[in-house]
């Protein structure tokens, strides 16, 4: 008897509409010695603020699994939540140390439903970035 070869499926998570803003300047509140200060910082990366999941700087996350099995994102990225997620910015402070600040009013979300299981066809989830009014 031959063992049936397992088929692998792929899901690409596309954050490029978010990461295309790396290098851009954004105004955020930062805590300077206990005092919140409204200031401009340059984005060196982005996170999902509530879970501290670091969005890959290249804008792509490739997931692979056996066809028919559940698609599960890495820790901090719940693909079952399709609502708007609070975005955080990663910036360098005056000492060159990475810091994270909430980007008030900035959210990301994917429009279509995320695939629940791996299929034979490659699947893509595209996250969009929403700016405050």
- List pLDDT tens digits, range 79-92: 887 788 999 999 99
Give tens-digit pLDDT for 39-63: 999 999 999 999 999 999 999 999 9
Say if strands 123-130 and 8-14 run parallel, antiparallel, or are unpaired: parallel
Say if strands 25-32 and 8-14 run parallel, antiparallel, or are unpaired: unpaired
Give tens-digit pLDDT for 95-113: 999 999 999 999 999 877 7
Sign of CA dihedral 126, 19, 105, 86: positive
Mean pLDDT of 55-83: 92
Where does the pLDDT of residue 3 fall: very low under 50, low under 70, confident under 90, or very high at 90 and above?
Answer: low
The whole-model pTM stands at: 0.88
Task: Check residue 66 and give its pLDDT.
Answer: 96
Task: Check residue 113 and give its pLDDT.
Answer: 78
The yes-or-no verdict on residue 118 having pLDDT over 80 is yes
Q: Please check whether residue 22 is in contact with residue 56, taking contact to mean a CB–CB distance below 8 angstroms.
A: no
Length of the chain: 133
CA–CA separation, 109 and 126 (whole Å): 8
């Amino acid at each position: 008897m031959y063992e049936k070869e397992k088929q692998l499926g792929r899901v690409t998570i596309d954050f490029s509409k978010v990461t295309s803003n790396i290098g851009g300047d954004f105004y955020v509140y930062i805590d300077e010695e206990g005092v919140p200060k409204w200031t401009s910082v340059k984005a060196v990366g982005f996170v999902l603020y509530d879970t501290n999941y670091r969005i890959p700087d290249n804008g792509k996350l490739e997931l692979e699994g056996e066809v028919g099995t559940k698609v599960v994102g890495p820790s901090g990225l719940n693909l079952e939540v399709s609502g708007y997620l609070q975005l955080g910015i990663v910036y360098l402070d005056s000492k060159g140390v990475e810091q994270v600040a909430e980007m008030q009013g900035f959210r990301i979300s994917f429009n279509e439903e995320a695939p629940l299981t791996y299929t034979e066809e490659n699947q893509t989830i595209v996250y969009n970035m929403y700016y405050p009014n």
